[in-house]
Homo-oligomer: A and B are copies of this chain.
Amino acid sequence: MPPIMRIDVPDHNGEVDIKSAYIKGEDSFAIKLSSGFFDNPAMGIPSANGLMILINSHTGEPLAVLADEGRLTDLRTAAAGAVAAKYGSRETSRIAGILGTGAQARLQLYALMLVRPIEHVFVYGRNGEKAVKFKHKMEQKTGLHLTVCETAEQVVRKSDVVVTTTPSKEPLVYGDWMRPGLHITAMGSDAEHKQELDASVIEKADVVVCDVKSQSVRLGELRSSPEQMERAIELGEVTSGKRSFRQSDEEITVCDLTGTGVQDTAIARHVYHQLLDWEGVTDERREV
């Protein structure tokens, strides 16, 4: 998995990131372009866009261009959140806290509901009106009860599992607010100028997990506390059974997600094979 490539377009307040990962033994891998052009909303179009290209691992031939406009990134990011919660949060977590009210706030809540018996949701967003809309929409969609909070602190103090989904440039969550048993997944920060967790959160946590440590220390929450890198565990070490994440109900656990090319390759392959299924492509033709 090579480092992320980034093309800056400062004239238009935009950037394109390129991620990729070859997974040993798999017959294809993805190269993903994801763009963020932050003047777009003023023109009535979403800031995020992107596409994935699936490459034949044996020959280098392009197999498919998935013009998903960033949808697959949204889904795999939410899926990574579910994996983090599955290994990091208490199994009995019933109260979810969501910071932020955008697309990831929605998707992370759906993902969380797949792995934990969520009954109630506390949500906080800078824009109170959007938070109320989020409450109504998600109550309708999920059947859960949502409560809009006045502060991030209220959300964190009341929840079993918190997901931070904002593009914040300053800490939103502080270590003092955390009680035993809490799990936090921070998926918002993926660039040098972003930060959701105060350094005290990482310091006070009993277990710190990242999707990719080298990325987290550069683009994620470990940037504020690089001295914690040594004890941090990678999520892949957890899912492959090499290391443990939560080991008791009393621990405070944190997982920082910056997004990985491996996740892109996994979802692109999954979708590509689903498309082949729908089109009735036989296994024979599918072989490379």
Contact = CB atoms under 8 A, between A and B. Distances in A.
Interface of A: 2-3, 5-9, 11-12, 14, 16, 18, 20-22, 24-25, 29, 31, 33, 35-37, 40, 43, 45, 47, 49-51, 53, 55, 57-62, 65, 67
A57 B7 contact: no
A7 B35 contact: no
B58 A37 contact: yes
Given A18-B5, A31-B18, A59-B40, A51 B53 contact: yes
A20 B2 CA distance: 16
A25 B40 CA distance: 18
A45 B59 contact: yes
A33 B53 CA distance: 10
Contacts of A21: 7
A12 B2 CA distance: 17
Given A2-B5, A11-B57, A16-B60, 5 more contacts: A5-B20, A9-B60, A45-B59, A49-B62, A53-B53
A61 B49 contact: yes
A29 to B, nearest CB: 7
A49 B59 CA distance: 9
Contacts of A9: 22, 29, 57, 60
Given A49-B61, A51-B53, A62-B51, A7 B36 contact: no
A65 B31 CA distance: 14
The residue among A7, A35, A40 with the most chain B CB atoms within 10 A of its own CB is A7
Contacts of A55: 16, 33, 35
B36 A60 contact: yes
A245 to B, nearest CB: 29
B37 A24 contact: no
15 contacts: A8-B22, A9-B60, A16-B20, A16-B31, A31-B33, A33-B53, A35-B60, A36-B60, A37-B59, A45-B61, A49-B61, A50-B62, A51-B53, A51-B62, A53-B53
